[in-house]
Structure 1
Amino acid sequence: MSDTVTSVDADLVAMMRQVFLDAREKVEEGPLVAGEDLWSELDELGLVRLTGDEDSGGSGAGWAEAAELLRAAAGAGVRVPLGEHDLLACRLLADAGLPADDARRTVAELDAAGTGLAVPWASTAGRIVLLVPRDGGYAVADVAAGDVRITPGTGASEEARDTVYAAPAVTAGATPVEHRVVAAYRLRAALVRGVQVSAALDRILELTVEHVRDRVQFGRPLARFQAVQHLVADIACEAELARAATGAAVELMAVAGPDDPRTAFAVAVARSCAGHAASVAVRNAHQALGAIGTTREHRLHEYTRAALAWRNEFGAVREWDRRVAAAAADAGGSGLWPLVVD
């Protein structure tokens, strides 16, 4: 099911899903962390720079297609930095007026000391786009991965989350950017994670339904027990809410762009909904499956761990709750309804 109102070609969606499903079948247990072979295949299919301008080597697609690509990878249990490379790093370079070549990229947001923590996929990237605080604002530098010091790490999602340090000499020539460029980057990053969480919740629902239908206890399938039915129904409701909220945010990102206040509100709602939905889905799924859901042999933990990890990146749930509440308060009694439904 598409998570956007904008129609995406069904054949394109099917191709995306099949690529990741075929790749995932080669791994017996645990998520597939994409290597160079899969990255090259995705590049040949035009999926690595899906939303990039065609005159700069991209495929010229939009957020609707990008969301389907993110959902396909997350739903198949494939860990690959497509969002980080295309929607974040290359788009940030474009907004800064800087070129991007074919090297795989990610973004490291540095502190005043030149350190970036939990940087996604830095240890696997060819180049790092640095977001550098400078004179009360920010600047952007595109540097080779070998020009910075990278300490590898792994997050709960089993993806690379590395520490990056850039010496002052490396960032000296960084290009200053407006605050709106940084705000747009952060909003896009938040939406990338929201889409991934939503896709993980859909897969959690599928695995839970499959288990309770097949597992027999006391002479009948688990799905026949009312308490189990309630667990599954709650997962389904929360997954649908997360999908609808992220779909609305993707649609506004595609139509209005990250500078529109409506987009910022929609992303905040999406992240809040997806974050709370993850709590319910993870709890209920593991209750329904019991101990088997935590084993390496079963795939449930691939998605529950990822959902919990992704929901806290680029803003924790409490922060997104606060933003939704602040927007509602600012809208006032007369503006709240249009804010929600417009």
Structure 2
Amino acid sequence: MTTVDPELRDVLREVLAGDLHDRLDQTTGGVAFDAELWERLSRLGFTALTAPEQQGGSGAGWLEAAALLSESAAAARHLPFAESDLLAHWLLRTAGSPADDPATPLTLAIVEPDGTARAVPWLDQVPAVLLFRRPNGTYAVAETPSPTPDYSRNPVPDYGSNPGARSGLPRGEMREVEEPPGVVEVGAGVLDELVLRGALARAVQVVGALDAVVRLCVEHSRTRVQFGRPIAKFQAVQHLVADAAAEAALARAAVDAAVLDAAETGALSAVKVAAARSCAGHAVSVVVRNAHQVHGAIGTTQEHPLQLFTLPALDWRGEFGTTRDWDRFLGETTRTSSLWDVVLGGSADTPALPGGHR
């Protein structure tokens, strides 16, 4: 299958639909875990979408997961789909310790060598945290309840350095106190796979948000009247909207290509994921800038839904490697390999992936 069943998208849109104005306080009050919506989606099989059927999941793949992530981002319905299903539960299965219930919401904390896990998504809003760290030169996985006395948890209010602070997406910091029980060692290659999975998931969410931004731009330019006519009639505004739409479409094409490749081959291509992240990251700059120019002052207010999409997109593009990191990865890959091999995805000589904890 190379496309997602349209009925699946219809179901997702129906479940995730709602008045955007009911969520305008996300950037000030913060995004809270919606247990009711999670339970509803769980009954439909969406919260354990990629878990094997024999382990209680839906047995779906990247195409379906991307549809869920994209539609939720486009509806500003934030839940830990990527953190739980695509990362934490996948890591548990990889470590040979699958959860009894793959629909249980989890989050992932990548513990740095100094014992600190920074900007952990959904910290203290889900039942447990999966720790991924490198003790004694090996990689290890351990699950710890949330909250737990073994780790000190602190919200990270610094708007200047904390991903998620501006958008209201829940983030927190963990400082390791002692080794939790139940540690399982995993292979060194798991880190690269984890980075690629997280990077592609964030790229999918970015393009979902950008699609929503473009729709808002089109709607606003058609309904906003200045000098006796809709501003969409002015050539300067047309150029802004067209450029934003073109960048969003380019990013969507790159992300869809990476998702489709993963669905067809069963593995993530580092080059395709890097291209998707690069295109999505650069698209965010253009789309967000143009959207705010089209909307004018009203687009910067908390009373307008534009910020429900622009701020999360700005945050997501900096997770699992920044745009610059992925640009450098592509450049280094091209430098050390045949350009034609890189274009065709045949290069085996790739540099280290973005991300710390090595």
Report if TM-score (shorter chain) is over 0.5: yes
Given the alignment, which residue of 302, 307, 311 partners 1:305?
A: 311
Which segments of 5 or more consecutive residues in structure 1 lack a partner in the other structure?
none
1:53-68 residue pairs with structure 2 within 5 A?
A: 53-68=52-67
1:178-237 CA distances to partner (integer Å, 9 max, x unpaired)?
A: 111111111100011000000111011000010011111111111111111110010011
Q: Is the 8 A contact 1:123 1:160 kept in 2?
A: no
Given the alignment, which residue of 170, 174, 191 partners 2:200?
A: 191
Instruction: Measure, in 1, the Cα distance between the counterparts of 2:227 and 2:20.
Output: 34
The CA deviation at 1:26 is 8.1
Instruction: Measure, in 2, the Cα distance between the counterparts of 1:128 and 1:146.
Output: 9
Residue 139 of structure 1 aligns to a residue whose secondary structure is strand
Label 1:327 to 1:288 Cα distance change in 2 as closer, same or farther (>3 A).
Answer: same
The CA deviation at 1:306 is 1.0
Residue 146 of structure 1 aligns to a residue whose secondary structure is coil
Partner of 2:2: 6
The CA deviation at 1:339 is 3.6
Residue 159 of structure 1 aligns to a residue whose secondary structure is coil
State the one-letter code of the partner of 1:68.
A
State the one-letter code of the partner of 1:215.
R
Q: Is the 8 A contact 1:48 1:82 kept in 2?
A: yes
Q: Is the 8 A contact 1:123 1:152 kept in 2?
A: no
The CA deviation at 1:28 is 5.3
Residue 78 of structure 1 aligns to a residue whose secondary structure is coil
The CA deviation at 1:135 is 2.2
Percent of residue pairs identical? 45
Residue 179 of structure 2 aligns to a residue whose secondary structure is helix
State the one-letter code of the partner of 1:155.
A
Q: Is the 8 A contact 1:96 1:175 kept in 2?
A: yes
Instruction: Measure, in 2, the Cα distance between the counterparts of 1:326 and 1:93.
Output: 32
1:221-240 residue pairs with structure 2 within 5 A?
A: 221-240=230-249
Partner of 1:281: 287
The CA deviation at 1:15 is 0.4
Given the alignment, which residue of 288, 299, 305 partners 1:293?
A: 299
1:301-329 CA distances to partner (integer Å, 9 max, x unpaired)?
A: 11111111110111111001001111222
Which segments of 5 or more consecutive residues in structure 2 lack a partner in the other structure?
157-163, 348-358
Instruction: Measure, in 2, the Cα distance between the counterparts of 1:47 and 1:135.
Output: 37
Instruction: Measure, in 1, the Cα distance between the counterparts of 2:23 and 2:197.
Output: 33
Residue 118 of structure 1 aligns to a residue whose secondary structure is strand
The CA deviation at 1:167 is 2.5
Instruction: Measure, in 2, the Cα distance between the counterparts of 1:159 and 1:114.
Output: 23
The CA deviation at 1:30 is 3.9
Residue 74 of structure 1 aligns to a residue whose secondary structure is helix
Number of residue-to-residue matches in the alignment? 332
Residue 122 of structure 1 aligns to a residue whose secondary structure is coil
Q: Is the 8 A contact 1:52 1:60 kept in 2?
A: yes
Residue 24 of structure 2 aligns to a residue whose secondary structure is coil
RMSD of aligned alpha carbons: 1.9
Partner of 2:155: 152
Matched, 1:131 2:132: yes
The CA deviation at 1:83 is 0.9
Instruction: Measure, in 1, the Cα distance between the counterparts of 2:248 and 2:265.
Output: 25
Instruction: Measure, in 2, the Cα distance between the counterparts of 1:33 and 1:220.
Output: 41
Label 1:227 to 1:156 Cα distance change in 2 as closer, same or farther (>3 A).
Answer: same
1:158-307 residue pairs with structure 2 within 5 A?
A: 158-170=168-180, 173-258=182-267, 263-307=269-313
Label 1:226 to 1:297 Cα distance change in 2 as closer, same or farther (>3 A).
Answer: same
Q: Is the 8 A contact 1:208 1:285 kept in 2?
A: yes
Q: Is the 8 A contact 2:20 2:76 kept in 1?
A: no
Partner of 2:12: 16
The CA deviation at 1:116 is 0.3
Instruction: Measure, in 2, the Cα distance between the counterparts of 1:33 and 1:135.
Output: 36
Q: Is the 8 A contact 1:114 1:168 kept in 2?
A: no
Residue 107 of structure 2 aligns to a residue whose secondary structure is strand
Partner of 1:49: 48
Which has the larger displacement, 25-34 or 97-106? 25-34
State the one-letter code of the partner of 1:27.
D
Q: Is the 8 A contact 2:292 2:299 kept in 1?
A: yes
What is the TM-score with the length of structure 2 in the denominator?
0.88
Residue 286 of structure 2 aligns to a residue whose secondary structure is helix
Instruction: Measure, in 1, the Cα distance between the counterparts of 2:92 and 2:201.
Output: 17
Residue 124 of structure 2 aligns to a residue whose secondary structure is helix
Q: Is the 8 A contact 1:157 1:310 kept in 2?
A: no
Partner of 1:94: 93
What is the TM-score with the length of structure 1 in the denominator?
0.92
Partner of 2:353: none
Partner of 1:141: 142
Residue 293 of structure 1 aligns to a residue whose secondary structure is helix
Instruction: Measure, in 2, the Cα distance between the counterparts of 1:337 and 1:146.
Output: 46
Q: Is the 8 A contact 1:235 1:285 kept in 2?
A: yes
Residue 150 of structure 1 aligns to a residue whose secondary structure is strand
Label 1:334 to 1:241 Cα distance change in 2 as closer, same or farther (>3 A).
Answer: closer
Instruction: Measure, in 2, the Cα distance between the counterparts of 1:149 and 1:253.
Output: 37
State the one-letter code of the partner of 1:309.
D
The CA deviation at 1:334 is 4.8
Counting helix residues as a fraction of each chain, which structure ranks higher? 1
